[in-house]
Amino acid sequence: MSDRIVYLNGQFVPESEARVSIFDSALMYGDMAFEMTRTFGHKPFRLREHLDRLYGSLRLLEIDCGLSIDEMEKLTRETLERNIPTEADDMDWQIMHDVSRGPLPLYSSAFAAGVQPTVSINCWPLITHTGGFANNYRTGVEIMIPAQQTIPAHLLDLKAKTRSRVHYRMAELQGQRAGGRWPVLLDPDGFLAEGPGWNIFLVRDGVIFTPEPRNVLNGVSRNATIEFAEIPGIEVRETNLGRYEALTADEIFCTATTYSIVHATSFEGQTVGDGQPGPVFQELLNTWKDQVGVDFVTQAFDYAPRVAEWQKNDAKRTAQP
Ligand SMILES: Cc1ncc(COP(=O)(O)O)c(C=O)c1O
C-alpha cells in the first residue's frame, strides 16, 4: 500500500482506501470543481489564489462544500505535511482539490449517513509530471489549432475550473493525432483562447500579449507571469489575438501549474522566431525561478531518469495489502 494520505469527507484515509461513489454527481454530470496547486521546495505556490478560484468555481456551481476557505487551507496544509515524509526530501508535490455536489439525492437510500458534497484533497509526487515533461524545456513545444473550439463564457464560464472538460479532451486527441502537437482552442469569434491545460502568450517587438481573460481559465501561472514580467520591466497587454498574431509573433510560450512556463518552437507548422527560446522567454524563465526559489527546469531533469524506478517502487508499494 502506498503511504500517501488523502483527506476525504472529514477524514484522513490511506490513498488506496479513498473511494467515491458511482452515484456521485461528478460521475453523472462532471458536476464538480477542482484545483491543482504545486509546491516549490515543499511550499504550496499561491495556494490562497488557487483556493479563491476553487471557491469561485463552487459559487458558480452552487455547491456548498461545508468548509470555509480558511478551513480548506488548513486541511490542505495538513494533508501536504502528512505526505511529505513519504518521499525523498527533494520531492515536490501536486496538491489536488476535488469537490463535487456528492451522490445524487435519487440514490440517497444507498447512503446511511445521508448525502453530502464529496470533498477530497490529495497529494501526488511531481516526479511523474515534471520528470516526464523535462525534455519539453529543451525542445520546446509545437502548437496547432484543433478543429475543436472552446466554449464561450456566455454558455459555460471557463473561469470556473470544472471537470466538464470533454471539449479540452477532444482538442488534446486532435493534437495527438497531429503528431503530438499542443492544441490552442479558438473561441467562436476566431480568437485564441487557451490550451486544454495552459494559457498562451505571444511576444512581438519586446511586448508580451495574452488573450483577454474572457473565454479562458484565468490561470494562476498566467497571473504570476503577468506580475513577474513587471520585475524586468516587460510590458504585458491582454487583448484579442488571432492566428495572424501568432504566426507573426517573435516568441510564443505557455504557462501552467506543473511546469510553470515552456516555449513554443512552431505554430501551425511554421517556426516561431528562430525556433530557439527567445530573450523575453529567457528573462521570464529566470524571473520565475528566482521568484519561486527553485530551478524547476534542473529539478525536472533531475527527476526524469528516476521516473521509471519510482513508478516501479510505487506500484510495488501499492500492490502490498
Ligand atoms: C483549461 C486550462 N487553462 C489554463 C490552465 C492553467 O492554469 P494554472 O496556471 O492555474 O495551472 C489550466 C490548468 O489546469 C487549464 O485547465
Find the distance separating the first CA and the last CA of the chain, reported in whole Å.
6
Write down the pTM of the prediction: 0.96
Per DSSP, the three-state class of 288 is helix
Amino acid making up residue 125: P
pLDDT given at position 317: 85
Is residue 232 predicted with pLDDT exceeding 80? yes
Q: What is the pLDDT of residues 7-16, one digit of tens each?
A: 999 999 999 9
Q: Which atom of ligand 1 is nearest to the CA of 224?
A: 9
Q: Whose CA is nearest to atom 13 of ligand 1?
A: 197
Of all residues in the chain, what percent carry a pLDDT higher than 90?
A: 98
How many CB atoms are located within 10 Å of the residue 15 CB?
18
Q: Which domains does the chain have, with CATH numbers?
A: 5-125 (3.30.470.10), 133-301 (3.20.10.10)
Q: Whose CA is nearest to atom 15 of ligand 1?
A: 197
Report the alpha-carbon distance of residue 252 to residue 272 in Å, rounded: 7
Q: Which residues line ligand 1 (CB under 6 A)?
A: 36, 168, 194, 196-199, 217, 219-222, 255-257
Tell me how far the alpha carbon of residue 149 lies from the centroid of ligand 1, in angstroms.
Answer: 16
Tell me how far the alpha carbon of residue 257 lies from the centroid of ligand 1, in angstroms.
Answer: 7
Report the alpha-carbon distance of residue 51 to residue 162 in Å, rounded: 14
Q: What is the pLDDT of residues 171-190, one digit of tens each?
A: 999 999 999 999 999 999 99
Q: What are phi and psi of 84, to 5 degrees?
A: -50, -45
Q: What is the pLDDT of residues 20-61, one digit of tens each?
A: 999 999 999 999 999 999 999 999 999 999 999 999 999 999
Residue 93's contacts (CB-CB under 8 Å, 6 or more residues apart) are: 38, 39, 42, 80, 83, 84, 123, 124, 125, 126
Of all residues in the chain, what percent carry a pLDDT higher than 70?
A: 99
Q: Which residue has the higher pLDDT, 2 or 212?
A: 212
pLDDT given at position 321: 64
pLDDT given at position 1: 63
Tell me how far the alpha carbon of residue 256 lies from the centroid of ligand 1, in angstroms.
Answer: 5
Cell 509545437 sits on residue: 142
Average pLDDT, the chain: 97
pLDDT given at position 318: 81
- Which of 161, 162, 254 is the best mutation target for the ligand 1 pocket, counting ligand atoms within 8 Å of the beta carbon and taking the most? 161
10 Å CB burial of residue 114 (0-12, 13-18, 19+) is exposed
Tell me how far the alpha carbon of residue 161 lies from the centroid of ligand 1, in angstroms.
Answer: 8
- Which of 182, 210, 217 is the best mutation target for the ligand 1 pocket, counting ligand atoms within 8 Å of the beta carbon and taking the most? 217
Tell me how far the alpha carbon of residue 165 lies from the centroid of ligand 1, in angstroms.
Answer: 12
Average of per-residue pLDDT across 74-101: 98
Cell for 26? 461528478
pLDDT band at 320 (very low <50, low <70, confident <90, very high): confident
Tell me how far the alpha carbon of residue 190 lies from the centroid of ligand 1, in angstroms.
Answer: 20
